[in-house]
Structure 1
Amino acid sequence: MDRFEQNYWGLFADFLEGFKEWTYNGHPLAFGIHFYSLLKDRVDLERNLLHPSYIKTGRGGQKVVDAYLPDYEWKNTKGKVVFYDKLLRIPSSVYPVLVPLSESILLKSDVTNIRSTPVQGMEMVGLIGNKANGEESVRKVEKSFSAIATRFHSHPLFGKKNVHTQVKKQISKYMKYLNAAEHFFEKTEVSLLIMGETNSLDTRSLAMTARKKGIPTICLQHGAIVSSFGYLPKIAIYQGVYGLYEQAFYQSAGVDARYLPIIGHPRFDGITSNQHMNPSLFYKQTQTDRKRKRLLIVDHHTDKSKNLKIIDGLLKKVPETELILKIQKGSQAYNHYAKHPRVHIVTRMNLEDLLSYSDAVISYESTVVLEALLAGKRTFVWKLNQAGLTDYFSKLPVERYIDVGELVDDVVTYINEGKQTHVPTEEVRKSFYIPERSSSTLLLKALIQNIRSKAD
């Protein structure tokens, strides 16, 4: 944990302490604020968080957070397993393996515009619309916040009026989700809630309400821990993790290992399976030449400049190699490659299929790197430039680059050598994922059964 992270979590601890009296229907509202967003565009405060003289260092940690969380008492309840579909990323075919569909519910934020469930035979329910906020309650909560905030008029964060405005906008939405969650759990008997994250307003409200009602919760790890801000604090009772690295990460923050089951993620089970897209269909959909080598370039990041330089360099230096671009957002940045015969842009194809037909992978520091290594692919990674990053990628067996020119040169050398480098997937799994012959789906199923059996 670097200085920025230590000071950030110290500041968050100050927020929990300063606003511990700010509650709504038994819920501590300080947990309903997306705290990291309050620092956005506050360059002066970010600079302080990096400065050695800033005095918040060492004041964070899960134990500090736990002191402000409501007490949790496991209640004897028989009911359905609820999957909240936000960053959950469980393949539709996996749900009936985990729990009989008659005993499960797929909960979505809103089902207004959804005509059919993505999981045939599974009940689907919308969270929003269950219960609305009362304007009087919102005003009362906002007034309470303002009264407490006056104590911190000289604070570099809590004393700023624009921060107060952001908090009030967020808390109105959070109260809406709290009311909806309360109503949902009142009318639905639930034995277990499973989520993909707990850091957004809706997922946090569900996790906190379930905790209040004594309903056990599992949060799956939704991606590589590039930064701690998307994964701490732990709010769910059980935080599923990919491997030993993540378990140690949470333990170092003060989380008990008993609540950190190593289960991987069901969506990765397909990476090592042989059930990939038919070769003829793959080459037809990607319009690639099966006789040429293929480089997969993954772009799920907002910074397009590095990938543009990488593409230009590769087109010049490896003329017989095809480039497949997997783009999540901002595909217009690559419009001038749209008609290039060796550049193939894909947006909807499964990553597992793309990995299985690629000779190497180029990515920024993201979960894709782990997926590529699990698929046994040589991977070249360009480094992110931001504060608060973990040491995750420095421990993986990958080449990492600040200079994309060096990245291109190494990729060219690899391609021209004409031989595939063995990627030590077993070594990767020892620290970063479940063993090769293990199934994440079955590990999650066993965890679900174990938790539900305690309610019998």
Structure 2
Amino acid sequence: MSVYLSNYWSLYSEFIHVFKELKYRDIPLALMTNFYQQINDELRSNMEQEDFAAKLNNPGIKELSGIQPFFDKMTAPLNRTFKTNSKGKLLVNLDYTRISEKTLNEHFSPDHTLILSRSRAPEYFGIPNLYIGNFKGDTRSAAEELVQSAASIFAKYEEHPAYGHPFFSQTFIKRIPGIIDTIETVFNLYDQNPVGAVLIGTTEDVVSRSLAIIGGMKGIPGICLQHGILMGEEAFIPVFSSHVGVYGEYEKAWYVTRGLEEQRIAVIGHPRYDEIFASTRQPDPAIFEAFDLDPDKITLLVATGPQLDARKIQTLVTELVAGGQFQVIIKPHPWELSKKLISLYTDLEQKHKSVHVIQDRKVDTRDLILHSDGVIATLSTVALEGLLFNKPVFVYYFITANREYDYYNTLENYIQNEPEELINTVSLYFTTEEEKLKYEEVKKRFLLHSYQVRHSGEELLHLIHQLMERYNHEHK
């Protein structure tokens, strides 16, 4: 582990120990907060220092393999043995699962499935919908009491490097009413509906985490799908559901290394990618006109992301289009668009006729991949999607981070830290057949461990059937 991650897990485990008696419905509230969001830049910088751990009193995680076992020990007293519910239905939390209408209609019967959403609509895609707001209860009194208790605990740790930090303490305290409200809501939901299994897309948000933890308390198995490639590990572990569905063997090994039992991991891919393999979409010439593209140039999609080295990005794009062979479509990360942090890209667009920036968030990234001759991406899911679309993909490692990311390392020289090296690799690929053959072998080896599932919807249904034992998976 990096220094930061070692300190992160030490602090997280100590936080849970200190606040273990702060509970609602027997659930420690410290388990319910998305912990890394309580850490601001100042505290994060402190946690990157070697001596930070010496300031902690009771860290419970000291090595990589101890991460998941620590949290399993915390949730063990809550869990009941999973039981078969003859009337139980599959509950699909609509947020973050990213399952298309086509997949839902193909694999999930409306007679045996419930959708949970923030919509009051009676159904989604023909499947009965439960509006989460209908299950709320009055938790104001309990919230006030627990907020005061939390403040009293923090008051004892004014000199602590994290608990004495106003941002850290106030973020947690402000979340308490929402956490308690969600716990009560999910208990009511399960009490009023026959649920045999629950499907969620992440456990970063309090609703999904509550569905998983309270499901465990009621003997209901849960499956958490993988919502993106494993980059920020704080977003993927600890695991609170009984099972996780992962993309490939890379993720399986990743979780096992962090102490998750192998039998809780299912390599099933993700249904969101099934359409890539089944798609009959063809390039539309109108796209070139819409984005003012030159059909005679090689079109490269450049997908960006937060915390990139601006100088390197500028060099990469400028030198790519300088020779006249390439034109570049820049697709900013949604976070950059929401924060209006795209001036670097729009400046490049103004300077170079062959640079085009996509500012419309409604534009489907997959359409851009389909209409490109190659994809240049940071350490993101877009690179994986490009590979699954069978496009040549070149990865740039231009981010500043407090840990190493190795997901794309097996792409060999098709991942580079310097723009000049990446430009040379891209140019070589598009000028020599030998390089294209070499790339194909590298790509095959990468996908062998990263993504092999072409019918994830079927694999997911099979896993659900195994867990529920009686799930009726007749097609609609």
TM-score by length of 2: 0.85
Deviates more, 1:146-155 or 1:134-143: 146-155
Cα separation, 2, equivalents of 1:14 and 1:343 = 49
Identity %: 24
Letter in 2 for 1:4: Y
1:62 to 2:62 alignment: no
Letter in 2 for 1:270: E
CA contact (8 A) 2:309 2:400 kept: no
What does the per-residue CA deviation read over 1:43-74, in whole Å, with 9 as the maximum and x for residues that have no partner?
4x643444167355725511111111122321
Query: Partner residue of 1:400?
Result: 415
Residue 185 in structure 1 maps to residue 183 in structure 2? no
Supply the distance in 2 between the matched residues of 1:325 and 1:399 (Cα, whole angstroms).
19
Any idea what SS the aligned residue of 2:277 has?
A: coil
Find the partner of 1:71 among 72, 75, 79.
Answer: 79
Note the alpha carbon deviations across 1:327-377, whole angstroms, 9 max, x for none: 343455344527965334444343333333322211111112222223333
* Alignment correspondent of 1:81: 90
| CA–CA separation in structure 1 for the residues paired with 2:109 and 2:13 | 41
Q: Which position in structure 2 is the counterpart of 1:106?
A: 115
Distance across 2 between alignment mates of 1:401 and 1:25: 50
The 1-side partners of 2:138 and 2:285 are apart by: 54
Which one of the candidate residues 210, 217, 225 is aligned to 1:220? Answer: 225
1:423 aligns with 2:437: no
User: Tell me, what secondary structure is at the counterpart of 2:266?
Assistant: coil
- 1:197–1:203 CA contact under 8 A, matched in 2: yes
Residue 392 of structure 1 aligns to a residue whose secondary structure is coil
Q: Which has the higher helix share?
A: 2
Residue matched to 1:243: 248
Secondary structure of the residue aligned to 1:381 is strand
Alignment correspondent of 2:46 = 47
Q: CA separation in 1, counterparts of 2:300 and 2:111?
A: 44
AA paired with 2:203? T
State yes or no: 1:380 paired with 2:394: yes
1:272, distance to aligned residue in structure 2 (A): 3.1
Q: CA deviation at 1:428?
A: 2.0
CA distance in 2 between partners of 1:281 and 1:101 (Å):
38
CA contact (8 A) 1:228 1:390 kept: no
Q: Deviations over 1:167-202 (max 9, x none)?
A: 111112111221221222222211111111001222
Deviation (angstroms), 1:151: 4.2
The Cα of 1:5 is off from its aligned counterpart by 1.4
1:364 matched to 2:378? yes
Q: Distance in 1 between matches of 2:412 and 2:364?
A: 24
- What 5-or-longer segments of structure 1 have no aligned partner? none
SS of alignment partner, residue 101 of structure 1: coil
> Which range moved further: 357-366 or 404-413?
404-413
Q: Any idea what SS the aligned residue of 1:192 has?
A: strand
2:252 equivalent to 1:254: no
Partner deviation per Cα, 1:279-317 (whole Å, 9 max, x = no partner):
345445544344332111113436483544433222223
- SS of the aligned residue for 1:206 comes to helix
Which is worse superposed, 60-69 or 150-159? Answer: 150-159
Unaligned runs of 5+ in 2: none
- Residues 88-127 of structure 1 aligned to structure 2 (within 5 Å): 88-108=97-117, 110-111=118-119, 119-127=124-132
Aligned residues: 448
- Which of 460, 465, 469 is matched with 1:444 structurally? 460
Q: Greater CA deviation, 210-219 or 354-363?
A: 354-363
Counterpart of 2:452 (choices 423, 426, 434) is 434
> Equivalent residue for 2:205?
200
Could you tell me whether the CA contact under 8 Å between 1:276 and 1:352 is conserved in 2? no
Tell me the alpha carbon deviations over residues 102-134 of structure 1, each in whole angstroms, 9 at most, x when there is no partner.
Answer: 3222222x226xx686x4312223323531443
